[in-house]
Structure 1
Amino acid sequence: MKKIHKFGMTAACTAIAAGALWLCFGEKIKILHTSLRSFKDENLAYTFQHTPEIQPTKKISRGNDPFQFLKEENVSLADGFRFKGGFYPTEGFLEDTKTSALLVVKDDVIKYEKYFYGGDPQTLFSSNSMGKSFVSALMGIAVAEGAVESIEDPIGMYVPEFAGTDLESIPIRACLQMASGIDFNEDTDMSRFSMRTLMGTPSMKVIADHGVQEEPYTHRRYQSINTEILGQIIKNATGRSLAEYMEEKLWKRIGAEQDAYWTLSNGTELAMGGLSVSLRDYARFARLYLNGGSFHGEQILTKEWVRDSMDVSAAYSRPGANQDVYNAIGYGYQWWVPEGDRGEFMAIGVYGQWMYADPSRQIIIVKTSADPDFMSQDYELKHVDFFRAIAGGLL
């Protein structure tokens, strides 16, 4: 009887503890479970087209006067492209990379637009890390308006959690260029970071615990936490949430056609990549940079910010920096810059999300995907040649 009583007491205590845990973290555990299920390979296409229905988000309202691209019947795209001695047919490449939508715009005219997996022009597609480029734009606006004094300022000037830590003196510019020197590994540390923040630890506190591994500007290391820091700086400096700031300063000013949504993590916007945006609105955002930061004569981003955002002249920013396969493409202020002299720039998100622009040809290409093989060898470089083949075929 004593053993039975002891077992019963243990079970009761376990049940009470589990109940208390559920009361404290139940909603967060549900979100975690939903996220894990959503990112199974077979669910990716649905997830990336329905994120605002799956995750908590904050709405970013469009303005009242959307800019309209002209629209033509779909042109014939290039048959394919060559890469490292091989030929990749366009249709096969689109299928193999699990393309969910493809949009090609030249001189403000939609030349090609096609949706897969049930999408359409009203579908909002997950940005994943393409969202980093939007955060960069918001930083540019915050600097231009004086909320942030300078990107040479130390991040500890705007983030109290960094005061007295090794991170305190890192310049904002170093975070923009993924050269902060923070001791964080994107592959091995991200899961723990996500779990701790989901369970309530402030993201800046989690980042501060990592310390630094080298002086800023020593190497370029892709770390999404750099963008989280930029997002926090914008919020602290402006006194606005990222969604609110983006709605007023960017979304209502570039002629966006649809509302966008920003995914929330522990109640705050996921700066590293949580936007849901329509394909054409991604193109409208890229168009802002294509036009030197101007929209209908209004300078939303300074010309200098747009120019500097694509500057990859520093050794750590250049294509092939560190002889690292992850750095095969150059990196500016949260924008990727391919090797070459055409002035091309790109935003890239995991699982195959792309914004590509070629100012010399006035071409914008947006490609969204649900590709679990996005980490395969030469994946990004193949896409660069694919986009160049499409752009070249429209001349």
Structure 2
Amino acid sequence: MKRFSAGSVSLDEKKKEALEKELRHDPVRTCSVLIEDQLVFTYESERGDMETPRKVNSITKSILSAAVGLAIEHGYFESVNEPLSRVFENGNLPERYKEVTIEDLLTMRSGIDWAGNKPMIESGDWTDFIFNQSLKDKPGTTFNYVCANSHLLSAAVQKRTSLSAEEFVGKHLFAKLNIKDAVWDKDPKGISTGGFGLEMKPADLLAFGSLYLHNGRFGGEAVLNEEWVRTSTEEKTGTDMGNQRYGYHWWVNPETNRLPYFYYAAGSGGKYIFVVPDRKMVCVFTSDYSRKEGVKPFTLFTRYLLKGFKK
């Protein structure tokens, strides 16, 4: 890939051999690693896969998180504490949703009682459908990972900026990362799908990860507010996924005796962007695992790549 130079760091030969054997056996399309912005490992199941756009599923959520940060930076939202009653003040917002904040949506703590995406997708107005759902928990208290939160964020970005999330991100983020081929699905009302639906090249996912590794800078230019990068990738809540934590639409792996702190974007089927600040590392997987097996790249990353490189 032209945008990243080859690095002098190499993966331990035994680990490399074992990893590549698993990659060839499993439905991994690509695996790539940057260390200090040098491309130190690349695997493609077929030549050209790194430059082939694919659906990234819930990695879309982490891109949307950047959109919210940019919207705050440009003055479209006052802060993450802004309630939906101020964002959707001209609509028929149910009373129970009025105190839900942007932060509640970002941390998956809105309290929405959610039975799955299918009924929403089949409706003619996704935002209206979500607002017709009840709240089972008090906003800001209980983590529940549902795409409804993300779609309301996308609707809020469009409400305030008068641009879809796709248009807003294209203008303020993707253009500065030289990302040209991203395509984002829309709901029947023209709102970019918040929780899924973005199609990107694996090489572009690396660039997005590099932006976060460098605290919002890319190619020497400030693209995203440094404070937003820091706060959105800090743990804000516990989750129902073991010891994993959640920030602002980013997953957070806390430091343990076995693993360092790192954060990651994750999409169903084994799509991941891992960012490890202490090791100056970004790792991207794109895969076609089943939903049940989609955690496999996490295991491959921690087993072979996280501590496997040497100068």
1:74 offset after TM fit, Å? 10
Residue number among 273, 280, 288 corresponding to 1:362 in the alignment: 280
Q: Distance in 1 between matches of 2:199 and 2:218?
A: 22
Code of the aligned partner of 1:191: K
* Partners of 1:162 and 1:168 within 8 A in 2: no
Structure 2 CA distance for partners of 1:393 and 1:254, relative to 1, 3 Å? same
Identity %: 25
> Which protein shows a greater Rg?
1
Using structure 2 for the length normalisation, give the TM-score: 0.89
Structure 2 CA distance for partners of 1:268 and 1:68, relative to 1, 3 Å? same
* Partners of 2:166 and 2:192 within 8 A in 1: yes
1:293 offset after TM fit, Å? 0.9
Q: CA RMSD in A?
A: 2.5
- Per-residue CA deviations over 1:182-212 (Å, capped at 9, x if unaligned) read 1113xxx22111111xxx2x11110011121
What's the secondary structure of 1:346's corresponding residue?
Answer: strand
The alignment status of 1:158 with 2:87, answered yes or no, reads: yes
Q: Distance in 2 between matches of 1:183 and 1:344?
A: 30
Residue number among 257, 265, 270 corresponding to 1:352 in the alignment: 270
Partner residue in 2 for 1:144 = 73
Q: Distance in 1 between matches of 2:85 and 2:287?
A: 37
- Per-residue CA deviations over 1:138-197 (Å, capped at 9, x if unaligned) read 100100111111110112321354523311210110100011111113xxx22111111x
What's the secondary structure of 1:212's corresponding residue?
Answer: coil
Partner residue in 2 for 1:168 = 98
Residue number among 267, 283, 286 corresponding to 2:209 in the alignment: 286
Structure 2 regions of 5+ residues with no counterpart?
Answer: none
* Partners of 2:158 and 2:191 within 8 A in 1: no
1:210-359 equivalences in 2 (<5 Å): 210-256=133-179, 258-266=180-188, 267-312=190-235, 314=236, 317-318=237-238, 321=239, 324=240, 326=241, 328-340=243-255, 342-359=260-277
* Partners of 2:11 and 2:305 within 8 A in 1: no
What's the secondary structure of 2:43's corresponding residue?
Answer: strand
* Partners of 1:100 and 1:119 within 8 A in 2: no
* Partners of 1:355 and 1:366 within 8 A in 2: yes
What's the secondary structure of 1:265's corresponding residue?
Answer: coil
Code of the aligned partner of 1:357: V
* Partners of 1:106 and 1:362 within 8 A in 2: yes
Partner residue in 2 for 1:48 = none
* Partners of 1:104 and 1:363 within 8 A in 2: yes
1:363 offset after TM fit, Å? 1.0
Structure 1 regions of 5+ residues with no counterpart?
Answer: 1-65, 82-87
What's the secondary structure of 2:215's corresponding residue?
Answer: coil
* Partners of 1:165 and 1:208 within 8 A in 2: no
1:217 offset after TM fit, Å? 2.3
* Partners of 1:136 and 1:334 within 8 A in 2: yes
Q: Distance in 1 between matches of 2:244 and 2:13?
A: 23
Q: Distance in 1 between matches of 2:155 and 2:2?
A: 30
What's the secondary structure of 2:278's corresponding residue?
Answer: coil
* Partners of 1:102 and 1:114 within 8 A in 2: yes
The alignment status of 1:99 with 2:28, answered yes or no, reads: yes
Structure 2 CA distance for partners of 1:163 and 1:283, relative to 1, 3 Å? same
* Partners of 2:109 and 2:143 within 8 A in 1: yes
Q: Distance in 2 between matches of 1:141 and 1:344?
A: 23
Partner residue in 2 for 1:204 = 127
- Per-residue CA deviations over 1:40-77 (Å, capped at 9, x if unaligned) read xxxxxxxxxxxxxxxxxxxxxxxxxx982103599556
Count of aligned positions: 304
